[in-house]
Structure 1
Amino acid sequence: MRHAQGAPAGRAGRGVSVRVVLATHNAHKVAEFQQIVARVRPDLEIVGYDGPEPVEDGVTFAENALIKARAAAAHTGLSALADDSGICVDVLGGSPGVFSAYWAGQKKDAVANLELLLDQLRDVADPHRSAHFTSTIALVTADSQEHVVAGEWPGRLAHEPSGGGGFGYDPIFIPDGQPADAERSVGDFSDDEKQSQSHRARAFDALVPLLTAL
């Protein structure tokens, strides 16, 4: 039986009109997407995915996002969103990039990934620590239409983690556009601050016009 994790019953009275499965087992991403979507499409209900994880053998964010969205749509019968995202460091030629989640190995250890990246940049001065978060979102509808959008969040990498918020590389990413005397990492941002500015929010803004088909 095809199903989506966390899909509640009896929601008709709460005005939810469309359910969309998010193709990830990462609870942090599900929560983040729920907050992002609520800002612009409160009629969409994002539900988690509990199906098998496909092999992400693409070499670009777009290829991997489509692989995940196609698998989730096929498994659940719902329209599916999938995000493939990562941090791209200029001095490393854009790495970790699509390998961000596996930078320290196949265990997807977020702390190990962050520590390895900091160690690799240990002697790199601030002017050369520029980086950006990239998010590519794929939408595969229940009738097999496919769309891909992307968003970037520019900034630079700190020398040490800061803050208890966010996840992944957030504690070492300092977004551009902050007052020079009050710069913070994303780990110091509130949820609302992050959701209004992040790479995923920017990608989702580009996706909104395409969601009218739902």
Structure 2
Amino acid sequence: MADAFDLEIRRDVFCSQCKKWSRDPANLKRCSRCKASLYCDAACQKKHWSTHKVFCLPAPGHWSEKYRECQDGSMHQGRLELITWEGVVTDYDGEVTRTGWASAELEDVDELKQIFETHFHSDEEQFYLYRRFAFRWNCCGVKGNRVAGCDHHSARFPVPCTCDFCVMGRPVPDDLEAENAAEHSVARHGLTIPRTPDPRSFNRAMAAFTAASRTTMGLGM
């Protein structure tokens, strides 16, 4: 079990081409264009370009660049985007709140817009530091105040997904996906999140351990 756990930790950083693992991201080189994919060297990067070029999206000078790193070692592929649409937020007690611009309750929207325009002079970065959950990452629908990593379930990301279902090689069940969509409906507006497991994430030893743990804790499978 110690070896399996060790593999789980090391999965956070790897070469996008040859899949060589590293304990330290500093041992690998980042793509200078998108700052996301990691490579052993220029040779690996050149071999991977035909696949990577579709997702290599430069973001020169965009203020959200410095906030893209997640706790799990991955990097958000998109940008922070101010939420400007209406939606609903469901809290842990099941209470539903209608929200609008900046993910604020509808009655607070006008006042918040005035704060944004007059106090922050419409500077999105300064407003983000003031109200992080008013933004979402447009690659995965994770709100700006969450740093747990992209809930992507997609092999197009440089770092494999670390969620339980990808580790077990299973798609997200219908009931849990419906629950997720309701909880994150505002941040996921207009986005399609793949439900199929990231094939790179499957770990035979961890799959059995994860399934047993979820069963013991009464979590959905």
Short-chain TM bin: under 0.3
State which structure, 1 or 2, has the greater radius of gyration over its C-alpha atoms.
2
More strand by share: 1
Report the TM-score, using the length of structure 2 for normalisation. 0.23
